[in-house]
Amino acid sequence: MIYIFAALYPELEPVIKEFSLINKGDSVYVGDNIVATVTGVGKVNAAFSVGRTMSVYTPSDDDMAVNIGIAAGSDVGTIFLINSIHDRDTDKYYYPDMLYDLGLAEKALTTVSSVVSTVDDNLYDMEASAIYQTVSKYISPDNMFFVKTVSDAGANKNTKFTPEYVSNLMSSQVEVIKKLLTLDERIYINPINIVDVYSEKLFCSEYMRNELAQLVNFARTLDVDAEALLDDIISNKNIVSRKDGREVLDAFKSRLTS
Amino acid sequence: MRLNQDSLHKPFAHVYVEESVMDNPDTKEILAHFEKSVIIPIRHYKDVFNRPRQNVSLQSKCRNLILAQNTGAKLFKGAPVCQDFGYDNFMYTASVQGCIYNCDYCFLKGMYATGNVVIFVNFEDYVKDVLEACAEEPLYLCASYDTDLQALRGIIDYSDRWARLAARTPNLTVEIRTKAAKADFIPHERVIYAFSISPDEIVSKYEHGTASLDRRISNVVEACEMGCQVRLCFDPMVYTRDYEACYNSMMDKVLERVDFGAIKDVSIGTVRISSDYIKKFRRISPDSAAVQFPFEKKEGYCVYPDALNEKMTGLIRSRLEGVFDNDRIFVD
């Protein structure tokens, strides 16, 4: 699952259209493997919206979070992947892990609480540090991505921020989301049913069940057919009590480790 | 677990550099090796190194580099689980934290929150502390404990610097442990090169990225020929269902090529993992038999059952019988 956060609706609009996301209310839009949220402008709005989405949709550690949007900077129209986020108010730094090559140029970004009038080599936005802080409670840093397109070189440069201008700038970020979706292909390890089956056959306590699960997993790493081995051990036994089950478990362990 | 890892960066595609060491000569020398990497200035290495919830397993496949200065402790007492080879003042130092290799059973996976590597470029501060520690009494120093310094020789020559320091400091003996393919040694009576020796089956399954058995034996032979102090570490031995065949085949090769008259000593031991770390190890390496083994817990460590431990270490001991002096074999 990919969680997408953008401050303004026009920033998210190209993604909503491309992936036919459905409005679920509270500025949340949902589609196949995508939950997208319009957070509103500023750190408080961003932290609140991210927190609300995360508590409703309960992401796993393997899910991804992407903050897309516009930023002030010197290369208007260019799209950047952010490798460092500085919160100007708290003077704290945050670092999304840079493990995937998305083919984007990288830059540092500073999150500020009011619109900047001039820029340097950094990018400037008003939400990223809060999004990082909140998302990091749920998702690992290798699965956080901050993608920004430069919209202007500062407030006094007379840029017209029409919704169309912002949406047009953001259209190239749709490709980034498509690329991230290709990363989001998982190996789902099936629950080990064998543990359920044999813990019942062996009258396992919770402790024994955990031990059995560990042994079954160890057998898998050795390429040993745990089911066949357990059946072989059980074949001549009449198992009627937990004590009998304990003996089977001990024999199973012994056969795997000697 | 994410399946699609085709888009992972190459190792060290990013180098995080503390602003305070940007002009350090070692920083400049190291960065010269990474002209294509993205350099990210940082205020303190722990902001990157200690981030919560890092994916160590994924980072190990495309680890990044951090250059920093260590303003904290630089010398530590050797852990009780480590072989002290009879030295009273047994310490280790970590001028580099994290390893470019990826051994499933390595304690670094439990100790650190990251798969990244940090090189501390204030090497002279380490030297100062070491010289103070050995001013009054002899010091046995493991210099390649939290990393493999020999493997990093292409980036920074710390392995040689420690060796040269030992050579000019009478109270200092330095051990440099390695699984590296690179072979460059400084022969001296107080510089010990400790080679971890494992069967190829173990190397390929559990010691990802390290040198093959043949390469390691060649390095041992070369170090011996140069007159180095050489320790052979059959440690940690890892259980596999055919461990007897694997380790016997390994010993055939070792005994055929290594002149044991030139070996200083031998250590033998099986895998042991701190009980505090075992859950983390199993989460990081769900498919590795080396950490999924049903260990027994003993004195804070997950270890093999006594009978298996004795059988495995006994196998190496028996192969060395009549070949190498029993008094110079250390068994954990």
pLDDT of B6 reads 73
Number of H helices, E strands in chain B: 12, 18
CB contact under 8 A, B52 and A179: no
Q: What total number of domains does chain B contain?
A: 1
Q: Do A41 and A166 fall into the same domain?
A: yes
CATH code of the domain covering residue A132: 3.40.50.1580
- Beta-carbon contacts of A25 under 8 Å, excluding residues fewer than 6 positions away, are none
Q: Which of B7, B55, B287 sits opposite A140 (nearest CB)?
A: B55
Position B332 confidence tier, pLDDT thresholds 50, 70, 90: confident
- Give, rounded to a whole angstrom, the gap between the first and last alpha carbons of chain A: 43
SS3 A46: helix
pLDDT tens-digit readout, B86-132: 677 889 999 999 999 999 999 998 889 999 999 999 999 999 999 99
Residue pair B277/B107 in contact (Cβ under 8 Å)? The answer is yes
User: Can you give the pTM of this predicted structure?
Assistant: 0.90
Q: Do A122 and A231 fall into the same domain?
A: no
Position A48 confidence tier, pLDDT thresholds 50, 70, 90: very high
Q: Do A47 and A134 fall into the same domain?
A: yes
Alpha-carbon dihedral angle through residues A164, A165, A170, A171, given to the nearest 10 degrees:
60
Q: Give how far B326 is from chain A: nearest CA, Å.
A: 26
Q: Do A178 and A200 fall into the same domain?
A: no
Q: Rounded to an integer, what distance in angstroms lies between the CA atom of residue A44 and that of residue B157?
A: 48
State both tokens at B85. Answer: 């080879």
pLDDT of A155 reads 73
Q: Which residues of A touch B (CB under 8 A)?
A: 61-62, 83-84, 93-95, 97-102, 106, 108, 136, 139-143, 179, 182-187, 189, 211, 214-215, 217-218, 220-222, 224, 253, 256-258
pLDDT tens-digit readout, B59-97: 998 999 999 999 999 999 877 656 666 677 889 999 999
For A146, A173, B90, B312, the CA distances from A168, given in Å and listed in that order, are 19, 10, 65, 67
Region of poorest pLDDT, from A153-157, B28-32, B298-302: A153-157
Q: Do A175 and A78 fall into the same domain?
A: yes
Nearest CA in chain A to B60: A99
Q: Do A13 and A104 fall into the same domain?
A: yes
**CB count, 10 Å around CB of A250?**
12
Domain presence at residue A189: no
For B71, B213, B217, B248, B262, the CA distances from B253, given in Å and listed in that order, are 45, 9, 8, 9, 16
pLDDT tens-digit readout, B236-291: 999 999 999 999 999 999 999 999 999 999 999 999 999 999 999 998 888 899 99
Domain presence at residue B6: no
Q: Do A156 and A252 fall into the same domain?
A: no
Handedness of CA A64, A70, A73, A77 (dihedral sign): positive
pLDDT at residue B321 above 70?
A: yes
Q: Which of A97, A183, A257 sits opposite B2 (nearest CB)?
A: A183
Q: Which of B4, B43, B59 sits opposite A185 (nearest CB)?
A: B4
pLDDT of A28 reads 97
Q: What total number of domains does chain A contain?
A: 2
Domain presence at residue B280: yes
State both tokens at B286. Answer: 């769900």
Q: For residue B53, which residues of chain A lie inside 8 Å, CB to CB?
A: 61, 136, 139-141
Q: For residue B118, which residues of chain A lie inside 8 Å, CB to CB?
A: none
Q: Do A89 and A176 fall into the same domain?
A: yes
Domain presence at residue B65: no
pLDDT of B78 reads 78
Q: Give how far A139 is from chain B: nearest CA, Å.
A: 8
Q: Do A149 and A204 fall into the same domain?
A: no
β-bridge mates for residue B298, sequence order: B301
Q: Provide DSSP, A83-119.
A: EEEEETTTTEEE-----B--S-EEEEEEE-SS--SS-
Domain that includes residue B84, residue range: 73-96+123-331
| Residue A241 backbone zone (phi > 0: left; psi -120 to 50: alpha; other: beta) | beta
pLDDT at residue A185 above 80?
A: no
Residue pair B113/B54 in contact (Cβ under 8 Å)? The answer is yes
Domain presence at residue B37: no
- Beta-carbon contacts of B195 under 8 Å, excluding residues fewer than 6 positions away, are B177, B178, B179, B216, B219, B220, B223, B230, B231, B232, B233
**Would you call B313 exposed, middle or buried from its count of C-beta atoms within 10 A (0-12, 13-18, 19+)?**
buried
Q: Kindly state the greatest CA–CA separation across chain B.
A: 57
**How is residue B327 annotated by DSSP?**
G
Q: For residue A62, which residues of chain B lie inside 8 Å, CB to CB?
A: 1-2
Q: For residue A183, which residues of chain B lie inside 8 Å, CB to CB?
A: 2, 4, 7
CB contact under 8 A, A184 and B4: yes
β-bridge mates for residue A149, sequence order: A70, A79
Residue B73 contacts A, CB cutoff 8 Å = no
CATH code of the domain covering residue B233: 3.80.30.30
Share of chain A above pLDDT 70, in %: 95
Q: Which of residues 25-44 of B touch A (CB under 8 A)?
A: 38, 40-43
Q: Which of B7, B289, B308 sits opposite A218 (nearest CB)?
A: B289
Q: Rounded to an integer, what distance in angstroms lies between the CA atom of residue A208 and that of residue A187?
A: 28
Nearest CA in chain A to B43: A93
Nearest CA in chain A to B53: A140
Residue pair A71/A151 in contact (Cβ under 8 Å)? The answer is yes
Q: Rounded to an integer, what distance in angstroms lies between the CA atom of residue B96 and that of residue B161?
A: 13
Q: Do A199 and A100 fall into the same domain?
A: no
pLDDT tens-digit readout, B138-174: 999 999 989 999 999 999 999 999 999 999 999 999 9
pLDDT of B82 reads 61
Q: For residue A181, which residues of chain B lie inside 8 Å, CB to CB?
A: none
Q: Rounded to an integer, what distance in angstroms lies between the CA atom of residue B170 and that of residue B165?
A: 9
pLDDT of A153 reads 86
For B16, B21, B120, B155, the CA distances from B26, given in Å and listed in that order, are 14, 9, 9, 10
Domain presence at residue B64: no
β-bridge mates for residue A185, sequence order: none
Q: Is the ipTM of this complex over 0.85?
A: yes
Q: Do A40 and A159 fall into the same domain?
A: yes
Question: In this structure, which amino acid lies at residue B292?
Answer: Q
Residue pair A141/B46 in contact (Cβ under 8 Å)? The answer is no
Position B216 confidence tier, pLDDT thresholds 50, 70, 90: very high
pLDDT tens-digit readout, B201-213: 999 999 999 999 9
pLDDT tens-digit readout, A190-199: 545 889 899 9
Phi, psi torsion values for B262, nearest 5 degrees? -100, 5
Q: Do A200 and A105 fall into the same domain?
A: no
In total, the C-beta contacts within 8 angstroms joining chain A to chain B are 109
Which of the two residues, B165 and A162, has the higher pLDDT score?
B165
Residue B55 contacts A, CB cutoff 8 Å = yes
Domain presence at residue B198: yes
Position A188 confidence tier, pLDDT thresholds 50, 70, 90: very low
pLDDT tens-digit readout, A115-160: 888 888 899 999 999 999 999 999 999 999 999 999 988 876 566 7
Domain presence at residue A111: yes
β-bridge mates for residue B303, sequence order: B272, B296
pLDDT of B89 reads 85
Residue pair A15/A177 in contact (Cβ under 8 Å)? The answer is yes
Domain that includes residue A114, residue range: 2-183
